[in-house]
Amino acid sequence: MSDQTSELQDLDTARAKADVEADRACLCCRKTFRSAGFGARVCPRCKTTTAWRTGAGLLGA
């Protein structure tokens, strides 16, 4: 295994260990919510809005 492959695997392992449940700020309303992992950045309340479900106003849509 090359050094580069080993470094990438170490990075993947570090990312996986960092993907933990934590209190995070919602990207829509900025309120703190309990996030299941670093990929969950929008709170459940904001996910129920029409704007979130349709993508209206997101990233210039």
Distance CA 18, CA 27 (A): 19
Give the pLDDT confidence score for residue 1 in this predicted structure: 53
Both structure tokens of 56: 């209206």
The residue ranges of every structural domain in the chain are 21-61
Rounded CA-CA distance 60/23 in Å is 28
Examine the pLDDT at 61 and tell me if it is beyond 50.
Answer: no
CB 47 within 8 A of CB 40: no
Strand partners, 56: none
38 vs 1: which has the higher pLDDT = 38
The model carries a pTM of 0.63
pLDDT digits (tens, 9 = 90+) for 2-58: 676 776 577 667 776 778 899 999 999 999 999 998 889 999 999 999 888 888 765
pLDDT given at position 2: 67
Please say whether the beta carbons of 22 and 35 come within 8 A. yes
